[in-house]
Structure 1
Amino acid sequence: MQFSLGPVLYFWPKTQMQQFYRDAADSDVDIVYLGETVCSKRRELKFNDYFALAQMLREAGKQVCLSSMTLYEAPGELRELRKYVDNGEFLIEANDVGAISMLQEQGLPFVAGAAINCYNQHTLRRLVSMGLTRWVMPVEISGQWLNDVLNQDIIADIRDCFSTEVFGFGHLPLAWSGRCFTARSENRSKDQCELCCINYPQGRDVKSQDNTQVFVLNGIQTQSGYCYNLINQLPTMQDTVDIVRLSPQVIGTFDWLAKFKANLNGAAPQQLGASDSNGYWLNLAGMATG
């Protein structure tokens, strides 16, 4: 089993991003995803910056994927996507079906991100025929569901054509909108947001009246309020999961990477905190801890 770092989902300053990826280069992570997936207005790092980081990480022995946006709303965003598709060196994680179409036109392989609605064996087989070589399972699906899909007869003859990745740590990306919730929380319009997301490097907490953290607002993205953590489920994944993804956090990402690696075979289980969850994987309510 390998471990990956997903794209940074929050809006961090350029210097912070560059330091994070220097740390990633020095870590023992296997795969690194790079790119802005949430909002095209976040331009601290541009395509050339990500490409330079990708080359640095590759030289450090990492497999690198460039991640596309999840929601395209303007022609300029499609032109930026074309730069990623035409990069000529690195695999693309497609988080939108428009990106898949563009990649298929050029006969390029791709990773299907968790935002792609792949919920059954028929969709999975179709995506493989279009060039999929790796898929990230939708975050709200259980381990049992994954096992059932991968053991369907329709998948048997293509099982060696793709690998399976699971979002294993971080606040789950649940939904995207044409509206910017972070801007709205500051009484700003989306067009006049003044890039206020950069003031919230871990997003903005949304709590219920009983003070339960229900969601995290991250621009146009809504995330789970609790931190998803499948560290104790690793031993049960051995036959179905090839890659476990950790979503970058402001602090502690590489400490958690070490903990995940130590518990690969169940040798170092962790006590989850009150703000952690693993419910979806266990076919429970998403906020639950089993």
Structure 2
Amino acid sequence: MKFSFGPVQYYWPKEKMIAFYEEVAESPVDMVYLGETVCSKRRELKFQDFMSLAHMLREAGKRVTLSTMTLLEAPSELRELRKYCENGEFQVEANDAGAINMLVQQGLPFTVGAAMSVYNHHSLRRLVQMGMNRWVPPVELSEQWLRELLSQPVVEDIRDSFEVELFAFGHMPLAWSARCFTARSENRSKDQCELCCIKYPSGRVVRSQDQKEVFVLNGIQTQSGERYNLVNQLPQISKLVDIVRLSPQAEGTVEWLQKFIANQAGAAPLKLEHGDCNGYWLNLAGMVRSA
């Protein structure tokens, strides 16, 4: 079983991003995803900056994939998408149907991200036929659902053709909108947001009236209020998936990777922290934290 770092979901200053990936280069992670997947206005790092980081990480022995935007709303974003799909060096994680279409036209293999919401075996087989060689299931799928899906005859005979990568750590991306919720929370319009997301390196928490953290606002993206953490489910996960994905956090990402690696066989279980959850994987309500 291999481990990956997904794309940074939040808006961090350029210096913090570069420092983070320099730390990643020295870490034991196997795979790294690079790219802005949430908002095109976040331009601390441009395409060439991500390509430079990709070269640095590849030289450090990491498998690098470039991740595309999830919600495209303007012609300029399509032009940026084309840069990623035509980069000529690194595989691309497609997070919308437009990216898949571009990659299929070029005959390139690709990863399908969790935002594509692939829930059944017929869709999975069709994507493999189109060139998919790695699949990230939707974050709300349970172990039972994933096991049943992968055991379907139309999938079993092509299972060697693609890797399964599971989102196993981080605030889960749940929804995207044309509206910017972070800007709205500061009484700003989306067009005059002043890039306020950069003030929230872990997103902005939304609490219910009883002060429970129900969501995290991250620009146009809504995340789970609880942090998904499957560190203690690794023995079950290893029987189903090829890659375990950790979503980068503002602090402690590499330390959590080391905890995951240490617990692959379940010999080093951890008491989940307050604010962690694992319900979806256990076929329970998503916010549940179960031992």
Quickly name the TM-score band, shorter chain normalised.
over 0.9
After TM superposition, give the deviation of residue 235 of structure 1 in Å. Answer: 0.4
Scaled by the length of structure 1, the TM-score of the pair is 0.99
Q: Is residue 220 from structure 1 mapped to residue 220 from structure 2 by the alignment?
A: yes
CA–CA separation in structure 2 for the residues paired with 1:82 and 1:257: 32
Q: Report the counterpart of residue 110 of structure 2 in structure 1.
A: 110
**1:213-252 superposed matches below 5 A:** 213-252=213-252
Amino acid at match of 1:168: A
- Which range moves more in the overlay, 150-159 or 215-224? 150-159
Corresponding residue for residue 12 of structure 1? 12
CA deviation after TM superposition for structure 1 residue 2, in Å:
0.3
Matched, 1:207 2:207: yes
Residue of structure 2 equivalent to 1:134:
134
Letter aligned with residue 39 of structure 1: C
Displacement of 1:274 after TM fit?
Answer: 2.4
**Corresponding residue number in structure 1 for 2:48:** 48
Equivalent position amino acid for 2:77 in 1:
E
Q: Deviations over 1:150-203 (max 9, x none)?
A: 111111211100000000000000000000000000000000000000011110
Residue of structure 1 equivalent to 2:170: 170
Cα shift at 1:117: 1.6
The match for 1:254 is: 254
Pairwise CA RMSD: 0.5
| 4+ runs deviating over 2 angstroms | none
The residue number in structure 1 matching 2:79 is 79
Deviations 1:266-286 (A, max 9, x none): 110110122100000000000
What amino acid does structure 1 have at the position aligned with 2:244? V
- For 1:238 and 1:168, the matched residues in 2 are separated by 12
Q: Secondary structure of the residue that 2:93 maps to in structure 1? A: strand
Q: CA deviation at 1:209?
A: 0.5
Q: Which runs of 5+ in 2 are unaligned?
A: none
* 1:90-139 C-alpha deviation (Å, 9 max, x unpaired): 00000001100010000010000000120010110011011100000100
| Match of residue 123 from structure 1 | 123
Per the TM alignment, residue 289 of structure 1 is displaced from its structure 2 partner at its CA by 1.3
- Secondary structure in 1 aligned to 2:191? helix
Aligned partners of 1:139, 1:79: CA distance in 2, in Å? Answer: 29
Amino acid at match of 2:257: L
Paired position in structure 2 for 1:284: 284
Cα shift readout 1:216-250 (whole Å, capped 9, x = no counterpart): 00000000000000000000112211000000001
Distance, in Å, in 1 between the alignment partners of 2:115 and 2:269 is 29
Partner SS state of residue 170, structure 1: strand
Question: SS at 1:190's partner residue?
Answer: coil
Q: Secondary structure at the match of 2:116?
A: coil
Q: Which runs of 5+ in 1 are unaligned?
A: none
Residue by residue, what CA displacement relative to the aligned partner does 1:41-83 show, whole Å, maximum 9, x if unpaired?
0000000000000000000000000000000000000000111
Deviates more, 1:37-46 or 1:270-279: 270-279
TM-score calculated relative to the size of structure 2: 0.99
| Distance (Å, rounded) in 1 between the aligned partners of 2:188 and 2:164 | 40
